[in-house]
Amino acid sequence: MTAGLALMALGSLGLSLIRPNSEFVALAAPMVLIGAGTALAVTQRTSIILGAVPAHQTGAASGINTTSAKLGSVLGTAIMTTMFLRLLRSDYVDRMNPSGLSVKELRQFTQEWRRAVRDNTSVNSLIVPPELVQDIETAFKDAFSASFGKAELLAAALLLSCMAVVWLGLRNLPSAGSKE
C-alpha cells in the first residue's frame, strides 16, 4: 500500500509543476502515476482489511471498507477544492491589485466574465475597460496555475504523511495466515 501512496504523491508533485503552456505529456504522466498508485493502494487496502477479519465477517468488513473509502473521497475532495479555491481567490486578487480595480469591481467583472463564458457570448460587452481584459485573463491563468500547484504540493505532503502512518501501522499487523 505504501508503494501506491508513494506513486500518488509523485504524481501530485508532477501535477504541481503544470503551467498554462505545459505539454499534454506533462499532465498525462502524473495522472498515470496517480491512477496506478490508486489501483495499488486500494487493492492492497482491501486485501489487508478483508484478510484481518474472520471469514464470516468479510461482508461487514467489505461494507465498512467501501463506506470509509467513499467518505474519505468526498471529504478529501471537499477539503482540497475549498483550499484550492481560497488560494485561487487570494492569488487572483493579489495579481489584480496593480490594475486599480477594487475588490467589488473585480468581483462584479468576474461574475460578468463567468456569465459570458457560460453563455458563450462576447467579452466585449463586459463592464471592465478593454485594455484590462488581457491582464485579467493572464492574472487568472497564472493564479489558477500557482494555486493548483500549491494544492497539489499539499496533496503530495498529505499522501506522504499517510504513507508513513500506513508503513508504521503495517509493521505491527499479524500476517494474513495467522488469523485467530
Neighbours of 61 (CB within 10 A): 16
Q: Are 88 and 144 in contact (CB under 8 A)?
A: yes
Contacts of 127 (CB under 8 A, 6+ apart): 105, 108, 109, 112
- Pick from 6, 16, 12: nearest CA to 37: 6
- Amino acid occupying residue 84: F
Question: What is the rounded average pLDDT for all residues in the chain?
Answer: 87
Report pTM.
0.79
Position 115 scores a pLDDT of 79
pLDDT digit string, tens, across residues 36-66: 999 999 999 999 889 889 999 999 999 999 9
Place of cell 494555486: 147
Give residue 176's pLDDT. Answer: 47
Q: Are 32 and 72 within 8 A, CB to CB?
A: no
The pLDDT assigned to 110 comes to 78
Q: What tens digit of pLDDT does each residue of 156-177 get?
A: 999 999 999 999 987 776 654 4
Provide DSSP, 24-75. HHHHHHHHHHHHHHHHHHHHHHHHHHHHTS-GGGHHHHHHHHHHHHHHHHHH
3-state helix, strand, coil in the chain (%, to 5): 85, 0, 15
Contact assessment for residue 143 and residue 91, using Cβ atoms and an 8 Å cutoff: yes
